[in-house]
Structure 1
Amino acid sequence: MTGAPGAKVPYALLGVWALTRLVLLLFVFKVFVFPGPDVTSDVSVIYHGWYETLLEGAFPLNDVTWQYPPAAAFAILSPALLPFLGYASAFFVLAFLADLSVLVLLEYAGGRPGRTPRGAWVWAVGVPLLGPTVYARYDVMVTAVAVAALLAGLRHPRVLGTLAGLGALVKVWPVLLLWGVSKRKPWVSAAVTAASLSLLFGVAMPGAFAFLAFQRDRGTEVESLGALVFHIARHFGWNGKVLLHYGSVEFVGPYVEVVSTAALLLTAVAFGWLLMWRLRARRFLSHTVADAAFVAVLMFTATSRVVSPQYMVWLVGLAAVCLVFRGSRMVLPAALVLAAAFVTVLEFPLWFAHVVASDALGITLLVVRNGLLVAAATTGAVRLWRDTVPYASLTPLPGQAARTREPLVS
């Protein structure tokens, strides 16, 4: 694990990673029991059920919790690669290997000229802050694809596009990896990959895109920014309920649809800002793709109707890629994301009962976590704008003038 000949083995990094991952494995294999709801049941019950259906050549259309693009089937079916293990055990091992692959990629990239080992440390420290949920969801696998795409982008733009297209058909958000790309090749590769896979699934398996209807019908999940309206309203007589709805714990009752619509409008505003940035940006540096992807995913996560704990894995991974680049301006937003990750494990699963009850502790945790995400998205957007839009600020960020302009992708 080294990015340059003769570089020292990063024993401290490897030690921290190994120790923290051992603890995560002990939790998901239930050698020790992590406080709060059992986060592994999604794998042993829901994922395993989908696995059985997918093996029959069809998507689980009778299950509204199936809300993923068709290539998510690859992740759900992946435990078949380890037939000597039970489904859940194989899944946990594969999640562990995906985690390891991200560390290797970040450490290798961090040893190259103009790069730093900060990214590998962000990943090593940030992932365990989320607790065992990381290994009990397939998001770490998607994040591994996204990290590989961004790190390959400078030298192999078509690889960036291909992996982004694949990732988009696994969990949608990796399409945002292309937001800061200034050349055509990655976009073409992504379009070809996504179109080919879509056609393949559409022909081979019925219901490949039924997930779109299930996503459309989702409400306001209790951990989202908009949910704070109802957490507070419950103390003033609002008579709605908290129910397991479309696979997540959501508010159901008066005005929920209004708040959900407001969240969609906030997402539209975020998209509008990103579009304006894309039209105004002129300085595309070596770190711009990673910085832009990080900011884009931050903005869409913070404004989403659903902010599940596993979403934080995406942000930790993208923050880690940003900090591989010495010139990245995302140090503060990355630190805010790490803080938000720690608060996330407190609100789920540790004290999730307080969140569901909308008591003082639950509301405080959500205000802090969501506030950190909003702050990270805001500061990230400002720094991205100043870094890439000419004359956007009369006072350059420290070190801005000294950075070398490198082409992003060709």
Structure 2
Amino acid sequence: MNDIPPPGDDFAMLGYVDLDGLIRGKYATSAKLKSWQEKGGAFCSVVLGWDSRDALYQNRHTGWHTGYHDDPIRVVPGPGRVMPGDGRRFHLVEYADGPGAALCPRRLAGRVLDEACAMGFTALAGFEYEFYVFRETPASALAKGYRGLTPLNPTTGGYSVQRMAVEDGFFSGLMALARQLETPLEAIHPEAGEGAMEFAFTPSEPLEGADRAAIFKAFSRAWGNQNGLSLCYMAKPLNGLPGCGGHTHLSLWQGEQSAFYDPDGEGGLSQTARHFIAGQLKYMPELLALYAPTINSFTRLAPGFWAPTGATWGFDNRTCSLRVVGDSAKSVRVEMRPPAADANPYLVLAAALASGLQGIREGLDPGPAIKGNGYEADLPPERRFPASLAEAAARLRGSDMARAWFGDAFTDHFVTSREAEVAAQRAWVSDWELNRYFEMI
């Protein structure tokens, strides 16, 4: 009888975060989990060679030419997180050393953080997400063709206390879910738009922050479905309304001292912070596919919809791509605003941090901060964003900076995955095309 595990410990869920930020995994017995924790395990390489809808695409690492081999994996150290319901635990896994590790988003972010450490810095990160909530199940939304969906709220009500009081079960339920998953939310509130919401995670060590983002997005969707709701993290699910950002806040530290703060600098910024901002600006357009990884991502990047359209920066200016926030050593940070809610948090972290660190290495200067409407800034061509995922993927493929920081294997593989996304969209007849051309052309 003593060998019978207590309730909730007889098996656990294991999950890998793929290129699209989806968690792919399986249930495993406690014995299997223990074996993987001690010796490592293996995971089918197909998750490195299919898209978000399980469609295969040609790539060098895996495919019919390799027989979709297994790659070695390891369990991320730690006790795991308690899942909703029966109290069983969820553990992240990542690809272990080998070819799979070069393509693993979590390992990539870890390598960039190691480089920051080698340069004498540690980092602090805070992720925040906008999303829409519908009174729909996945089945009912599909049956409606994802049109005419019923939002959680019938009218807009940004920051509305009334909305939060009326829907207390939703807001308190999400806060409780985050607490149980050990992915604590600092705040949550209604945004402008029917059913629009936003939450922010408590700042943390960057890799832990990305873990929290990936895990909470997955389990919040599941929690919503269990309660007859659909939580949508698409970059822009509705016409005429703002899209959903996945803003990321970063700061650098040297021991207990902020590397970004200088009371004598403009806006309290140190020279290191200015170099960091300049690097993010310089490389933002060629890394945009990592911040805006889907066809839909580019519908969000439009003037007047709270999303940037070019590489700009300013102090507490939400029309800019980079918003400098804070007025003290503890609070000063840079908010990266181009990422959409559909972006992989590990890849956003890797791109935002690597580009900033590269700016420090090159000693770049960001130029004057924009005051007023950043959408009206007269930007040189190299600071303008690619207009589509196809253009963004091409820019990333030709980026020497990406290859130096992320490696040829990852850069080529990720670009290939985005090119496959573009090809899938080009072969599909959209509602827009039918509405525009069916009768009159």
TM-score of the pair, normalised by structure 1: 0.26
TM-score of the pair, normalised by structure 2: 0.24
Task: Say which structure is richer in helix.
Answer: 1
Task: Say which structure is richer in strand.
Answer: 2
Q: Give the structure with higher Rg (CA).
A: 2
